[in-house]
A and B are shown apart, each in its own frame.
Chain A
Amino acid sequence: MIIKRLATALLVMFFASFLSFSLLYLAPGNVAEAVLKEQLGFEPTEDEIVAFMTRYKLDKPFFIQYYIWLRLFVTGKLICPQTGESVTGEFLYRFPVTLSLAFSAVAFAACFGIPLGIVSAIRRNSIIDSICRVIASVGVSIPSFWLALLLILFFCVKLRILPVFGLGLKNLILPTIALGLHLFASITRVTRGSMLEVLSQHYILVSRAKGLPEKMVILRHGLRNAVIPVITLIGLQFGHLLGGTVIIESIFSLPGIGKFLMDSIFARDYIAVSAFVMFIAFLFVIVNLIVDVLYTILDPRVRVE
C-alpha cells in the first residue's frame, strides 16, 4: 500500500518535472533577453545574450537541457536569474510565509468548521442548522479575491483597525479568513454529513443505552469517526489551498511562494517559474502522502485492506 503510494508520488514528481521543464523550454521570447532586460533596464547587446545563454547552457538540445536542469535542480544548484540566488534558496526563504498562511487557514477552517458542522448535525433541521447550511453553501461560492477586497475595504480602509500590508501577526488575520473560507464551508458540510451518519450507527445507540451522558457519546465516539472524512477533505482541498495562496499573497503583498511565482512570471524568469511548479507539486505530493498515512492510522478498517 505504502509502496503503491510512493510509486504514484514518484510518478507525479517525474511528470511534474517533465511538464515544468517543457514549459520552460517552450516559453516564447528569449529568456536571456527577457531577464537581462529586467535586470539592466534597457536592451541587452547580442554578446550579452550569447554570454547568458552559454552560461545557462540554453543552446543545447532538449533532452540535454532537461537532464542538466533536473540535475541542477535536485542538487540545489539551479540559479534563479532574477536574483542570482539558487531557486532552492528562494523557495526556502519564502516557504515559511506560505506555510504559516496555509496552516492558519486550515486551523481557522477546522476550528470553526468542525464545531459548526457538529452543532448543525445535532440540531438537525432547526434554525441553526438552516443557517449553517446557508453559510456552507454561500461560503463555497464566494470568490476568495472578492472576499479579500471586501475585508480590506471594511477593516483596513473604513475601520482602520488592521494594517494592509506587512508581515506581523495582525497581517495574517484577513488573508487567513479569505483563504480559509472555502475550506471552512466545505468542512462544515462534510462534518455535518459524517456526523449525521455516525450518530445513526449502532455503537452510538449502544453507548446511549449504557447510560453515558450525551456529551460523552458525541465527543468520544462520534467525533473521532466524523473527523476522518475531514482529514481526507483537507488533503483533497490542499491543492486548491495552494492555488489560493497565489491570489491571496498577491493581494496582501505577503512575500510567500505564491507571490514569488507571480513575480517570476511577470519578470519572465521562467527558470524560477519551472522550479517553483516543481516545488509546489512536491508539497502537494507530500501532503497527500501525510493525509494517506493519517487516514490509515485513524481508520482501522483501512489498515486491514
Chain B
Amino acid sequence: MMKIVKMRANTAMVLVLVFLGLFSPVISPYDPNELNLKDRLMHPCVEHPFGTDNFGRDALSRVLHGARISLFVAMSVVALTTFAGICFGIIAGYYGGIVDNAIMRIVDSLLAFPNIILAIVILGIFGPSYLNLVLSLAAVWWVSYARIVRGVVLSLKEAEFILSAKALGAGNLQIMAKHILPNALSPILPLMTLDLGSAILAISGLGFLGLGLQPPTPEWGVMLRDALPFMETHPYLMIFPGFMIMVSVLAFNMLGDSLRDALDPTLKLGSKI
C-alpha cells in the first residue's frame, strides 16, 4: 500500500517538473534571453521573484526555461542510450558465440568507466555542442542496458513460447519485438528513470565547466557558472539553479527507486554520477 502511495507521490513530482519544462515559455514572466542592462543585478522583488542576472535577464524565467532544456537534453541522452543498449543486448543474447563474447567484453570494461571524463575530453577536443554532448554521455551508459537486455534474452531464448513461436514460423525480428522487448521493459524502466536524473547532473556539470551547452542558453549549469563573480553579493543567482538541479535529480531518483521496488526489487542499480 505504502509503495503505491509513494509511487503516486513520486510520479506527481516528476510530472510537475515535466509540466514546468513543457510550459515554461507560457508561464515565464519574461523572455529568458532579453537583456535589460538598466535592471541588472536586482535583488528578488515583486517584478523579479528570483532577481535579475548580470545582463538584466529575469532569473525566474531562466530557471523555468532551464527545466525545459535540461529535460529535453536528458531525454535525448536516455533515448539514445536505451536504443543502443537494447540493440546490443539483443544482438549479444540472441546470436551468442563470438558476437556475444565481444560485446560482453566491451560491456564489462566500460561498466563503471568514468564517462564524465570521456565526455569532458570529447567535448573539449571536438567542441561543445548538443550532438557531442548527447553522444559522449551515451557512449558509456548504454552498457547497463545491454547487460540487462542480454540477460532477459538469454533467459527467454529457450522458453516454451519462444520455441513455439519459432515453430510457427515467426521471424527473428518479430520474436524480438513481440516477446523479448516487453519482458525487458520492466527492469529497464527504472534504469531509464534513474538515468534521467544522472543525465541532468552530467549535463549541468559539463555546462558548469563550460563544456556543455553554451551561453546564452539558460541551462542550469551554465547559469551557475555565470553566477560565480556575483556569488558574494547575489548568492541566489547561484542558489536557485543549483536547487532546481537537485530537486529534478531527486524527483527522478525517487521515481526510479519506486519503479524498481514495484517491478523488480532484486535489481541492483547504482547511481551513475
Contact = CB atoms under 8 A, between A and B. Distances in A.
- A and B touching (Cβ–Cβ under 8 A): yes
Interface of A: 8, 11-12, 15, 23, 26-28, 137-138, 140-146, 149-150, 152-153, 157, 182, 186, 233, 235-240, 242-244, 246-247, 250, 261-262, 265-266, 270, 273, 277, 280-281, 284, 288
Interface string B212-255: 00000000010010001001100100110010011101100110
A275 to B, nearest CB: 11
Given A138-B246, A237-B270, A277-B118, 20 more contacts: A15-B109, A23-B121, A141-B246, A142-B249, A143-B221, A146-B238, A149-B228, A150-B239, A153-B232, A157-B231, A233-B270, A239-B112, A240-B273, A243-B115, A246-B209, A247-B205, A247-B209, A262-B209, A265-B124, A273-B125
A168 to B, nearest CB: 23
B138 interface: no
Contacts of B235: 153
Interface of B: 105-106, 108-109, 111-118, 120-122, 124-127, 197, 201, 204-205, 208-209, 221, 224, 228, 231-232, 235, 238-239, 242, 245-247, 249-250, 253-254, 270-273
Nearest to B241: A146
A157 B232 contact: yes
A265 B125 contact: yes
A148 B170 CA distance: 57
Contacts of B204: 143
Contact of A145 (B115, B208, B271): B208
A241 B117 CA distance: 11
A184 B197 CA distance: 18
10 contacts: A11-B109, A137-B250, A138-B246, A140-B249, A145-B221, A186-B271, A236-B270, A246-B116, A261-B120, A284-B113
Majority secondary structure of chain A interface residues (helix, strand, loop or mixed): helix
Chain A CB within 10 A, most for which of B124, B231, B238, B249: B124
Given A137-B254, A233-B270, A266 B124 contact: yes
B114 A239 contact: yes
A15 B105 CA distance: 11
Nearest to A29: B125
A11 B247 CA distance: 39
Contact of A261 (B108, B117, B238, B250): B117
Nearest to B257: A137
Contacts of A288: 112
Contacts of B112: 235-240, 284, 288
Chain A CB within 10 A, most for which of B113, B197, B228, B239: B113
A121 B224 CA distance: 37
B207 to A, nearest CB: 10
Contacts of A281: 113
Contacts of B242: 143, 146, 149-150
A290 to B, nearest CB: 13
Contacts of A182: 271, 273
Contact of B224 (A28, A149, A243, A262): A149
B116 A243 contact: yes
Contacts of A243: 114-117, 273
B195 to A, nearest CB: 13
Contacts of A239: 112-115
Contact of B114 (A143, A150, A242): A242
Nearest to A264: B124
Chain A CB within 10 A, most for which of B114, B208, B245: B114
A144 to B, nearest CB: 8
B272 to A, nearest CB: 7
Contact of B117 (A27, A138, A246): A246
A281 B109 CA distance: 10
A143 B201 contact: yes
Contacts of A270: 125
A137 B253 contact: yes
The 3 A-B pairs at the shortest CB distance, nearest first, are namely A146-B242, A265-B124, A243-B116
A237 B239 CA distance: 27
A240 B224 contact: no
Contacts of A242: 114, 117
A142 B246 contact: yes
A23 to B, nearest CB: 6
A186 B125 CA distance: 33
B209 A277 contact: no
Nearest to B251: A141
B126 to A, nearest CB: 7
B125 A240 contact: no
A235 B113 CA distance: 11
A246 B270 contact: no
A240 B140 CA distance: 12
